[in-house]
Amino acid sequence: MLAAAVFAGFALAIVAPWIHRVARNASGWILAIFPLALTFYFAGFIGPVVSGRVFSFAYPWTPSLGISLSFYLDGLSLLFALLISGIGALVLVYAGSYQKGHPHLGRLQAYLLMFAASMLGLVLADNVITLFVFWELTSVSSYLLIGFDHERESARRSALQALLVTALGGLALLAGLLLLGQAGGSLELSELLHQRAVIQAHPLYGPILLLILAGAFTKSAQVPFHFWLPAAMEAPTAVSAYLHSATMVKAGVYLLARLLPVLGGTEAWIYTVTIFGTATMLVGAFLAFRQTDLKLILAYSTVSALGTLVLLLGLGTALAVQAAIVYLLAHALYKAALFLVAGAVDHETGTRDVRHLGGLRHCMPVTAAAAALAAVSMAGLPPLLGFIGKETFFEAVLETRSAAGMALTVAAVLSAMLYFAIAITTGLRPFVGTKTETPRKPHEAPLGLWLGPWVLAGLALFLGLAPALTAEPLVSSTVAGILGEPPEVSLALFHGWSPVLLLSGVTIAGGLGLYAGRNALLRKFSVFSPLSRWGASRWYEGSLQGLNALARLQTRVLQSGYLRFYLLTVIATTVGLTGYTLLSRVGISIPEGGLSIPLYQLSLVLLILLATIAAVRSRSRLGAVASLGVVGYSIALIFVLFGAPDLAMAQFLVESLTVILLVLILYHLPRFAVFSRPRDRVRDAIVSLLAGGLMTGLVLAAASTHAFPSISSFYGDHSATAAHGRNIVNVILVDFRALDTLGEITVLAVAGIGVYSLLKLRLGKGDSR
């Protein structure tokens, strides 16, 4: 069933465009039924999973390599599965309304479904190879989603950037997972989770950690790979909500959480993960604070939230993991809601710049209310889930009583203050104050656009009001899924008079101050703006340019466009490599009994030699062709003499057709001329003689060494009995080695079509060479 839940998404993605074509404007609602059903399906697991059961499904894929298509559902997978399918349903409805009438809406829906299915597969996967396949599928489908408006160059560039960064991390991840499998003796995550001691003592622990972290950090947009996420805002809003709130960017967080019990707890883990997380949290929050575009603010604050999650997983204590899960849930809800609100605002007013927005509560009251709720959660105010998330975050950081812990606390409070200011900017500022002029006259958004924000913000309120009844079981089973032991989780709005409450107070005061003094502060910080020239995206651009330059250089060196140069390269390389192997491994030897060559064979050989010299020295093309023909027919005669009629027949035919072809070509060629300098000809002669010498040496070696028993007797014995044919040559071609022949005729077909298209290619005057 688990596998069916994953693969049904892909199947639906294939037919989505047709459903859209039939159902038109209702398609979003119809397609959303599937993820909604999945949500209920997974909700049915909450009870059993909370009581400690896990579900698994395995199908042997490549058993000889230990690779299986196996899925596994525990608390952690369940939380993610619920988020993916639940938010997926809302996003599909939203996209149908937001992109109403777009000619490629069906395609967008297909991509969204494919993305949801990949993400589900990722969080449910048990086998690491299965996990990796789905990991890459999410990269591919997010590439398609970000580049949805493929006619805009910036969308294409952002899509490619996201793909390159995450795929590069994906490669590192693959290496890391394989090493992990080697160290732990299994490719199944459920088994690896019990191998903590073995893996952490393994000499490869360092490389494993580094490679897996590289994968997780690129996917979850940690500094210094954070730049692709804001650039991915080129995607339609529904997509950004989906990619950045619930799913794709949280894949890295999921992976860290999943592997925490295996890899975590060491100093290397704690320091690396916590430091990267903290840096990302602060950089993201500050960059978000600086922006004025609603989507960009949200994107950078997502980067920051991911940093917070990574930081908490880096600490890895029971309390920190619990905080991470509450924070993750709260963030997914409010961030998705705010993204959807930002899209609705953009849709209705035509701008996303907060400086031009104000007073929208009069014309969009429903959207405004949802935005306000979500913003309150983001700011970390009671009674929403965001408040509990922030409080547990503070608790977890305070728990580490050391100098580093103090620094972490300061960083946490600082980022929370920035969050407070950002929340006001995105969730309140566009809706309060006096109404401003906008490119479009705003109306209340349609149902499809405000349904999502309302459900999400309402859920955040509901979970915040009654955390003990609702969020607690889910969170505790998730924490149990990560840590492997049932934790003590108690979530409440009011924790008593504690330092945490004091920090919350400081946060609110500081946040208000930051919001009020935003312009003055930014002016002060503008002295640092030249620093942005050294930002990570510059490094990305630079390395991309470097790669292109390298490609151009090697193309210039290797692809000169002259046939003679290619021939020279190919032959010289063959002679060098094969000749080296021949001399170093076998040596040149004369077969026992010496060489006895009858006179008629010798005369044939002499004929070939003379014809070759004539072809080289000839001053007319026709003469050269005729001489080559003599060479070819003489070789065919040799085949006849040695009892190979099949080869001889093919050789005769090829020679005859070659003459026809050459005659047809000669007709078009310019007059014969000598292009090569004498020096070049000496070089060519040396290469040719070496090639001839190599072949001679090879034939002699083949005749005198018998390293392997000859296979011809096998063919002779089995040709008639097993393959119903007495012509061994043909039986080899069409039966024993038919797969080779299939490959050869495929190459032949490709080459033929290549020749055809080159001949039919009419280069314009300008680009003809």
Partner 1 sequence: MNSLIMRTAARILEPLLLLFAIVVLLRGHNQPGGGFAGGLMAAAAFGLHAITFSVDSARRLLWLDPHRLIGAGLLLAAGSGLLSLFRGLPFMTGQWTRLPLLGVGPLELGSAQLFDVGVFCVVMGVTSLIIWSLAEE
Binding site for partner 1 (CB under 8 A): 645-646, 649-650, 653-654, 656-657, 660-661, 664-665, 668, 722-727, 729-731, 733-735, 738-739, 741-742, 745-746, 748-749, 751-753, 755-756, 759-760
CB closer to partner 1 out of 619 and 724: 724
CB closer to partner 1 out of 533 and 724: 724
- φ and ψ of 137, to 5 deg: -65, -35
**Cα–Cα distance between 494 and 471 in angstroms, integer?**
15
CB closer to partner 1 out of 533 and 762: 762
CB-based contact 241:195 (threshold 8 Å) = no
CB closer to partner 1 out of 171 and 666: 666
Q: How far apart are the first and last CA of the chain?
A: 61
Q: Enumerate the H helices of 24-104 as residue ranges.
A: 27-43, 46-50, 75-98
CB closer to partner 1 out of 468 and 745: 745
Residues in the chain: 769
Taking the complex as a whole, the smallest distance from the CB of residue 119 to partner 1 amounts, in Å, to: 35
CB closer to partner 1 out of 100 and 737: 737
**Cα–Cα distance between 482 and 193 in angstroms, integer?**
9
Taking the complex as a whole, the smallest distance from the CB of residue 669 to partner 1 amounts, in Å, to: 11
CB closer to partner 1 out of 374 and 731: 731
Taking the complex as a whole, the smallest distance from the CB of residue 664 to partner 1 amounts, in Å, to: 4
Taking the complex as a whole, the smallest distance from the CB of residue 746 to partner 1 amounts, in Å, to: 6
Token reading at 233: 């805002």
Token reading at 501: 């409450």
**59: part of which helix (H) or strand (E)?**
strand 55-62
Taking the complex as a whole, the smallest distance from the CB of residue 736 to partner 1 amounts, in Å, to: 9
Taking the complex as a whole, the smallest distance from the CB of residue 735 to partner 1 amounts, in Å, to: 5
**Cα–Cα distance between 269 and 26 in angstroms, integer?**
49
CB closer to partner 1 out of 541 and 744: 744
Taking the complex as a whole, the smallest distance from the CB of residue 662 to partner 1 amounts, in Å, to: 10
CA distances from 211 to 123, 171, 748 (A): 19, 9, 42
What phi-psi label fits residue 266: left (phi over 0), alpha (psi between -120 and 50 degrees) or beta? Answer: beta
Residue with tokens 């007073």: 359
**Cα–Cα distance between 501 and 277 in angstroms, integer?**
24
Taking the complex as a whole, the smallest distance from the CB of residue 612 to partner 1 amounts, in Å, to: 24
Residue with tokens 């020096």: 679
Q: Enumerate the H helices of 264-402 as residue ranges.
A: 267-290, 294-315, 318-349, 365-379, 385-399
Cβ-count burial 681-701 (b if 16+ within 10 Å, e if not): eeebeebbebbeebeebeebb
Token reading at 576: 């060098």
What phi-psi label fits residue 169: left (phi over 0), alpha (psi between -120 and 50 degrees) or beta? Answer: alpha
CB closer to partner 1 out of 635 and 687: 635
CB closer to partner 1 out of 468 and 753: 753
Taking the complex as a whole, the smallest distance from the CB of residue 129 to partner 1 amounts, in Å, to: 24
Question: How many Cβ atoms are within 10 Å of 529's Cβ, its own excluded?
Answer: 10
Taking the complex as a whole, the smallest distance from the CB of residue 616 to partner 1 amounts, in Å, to: 25
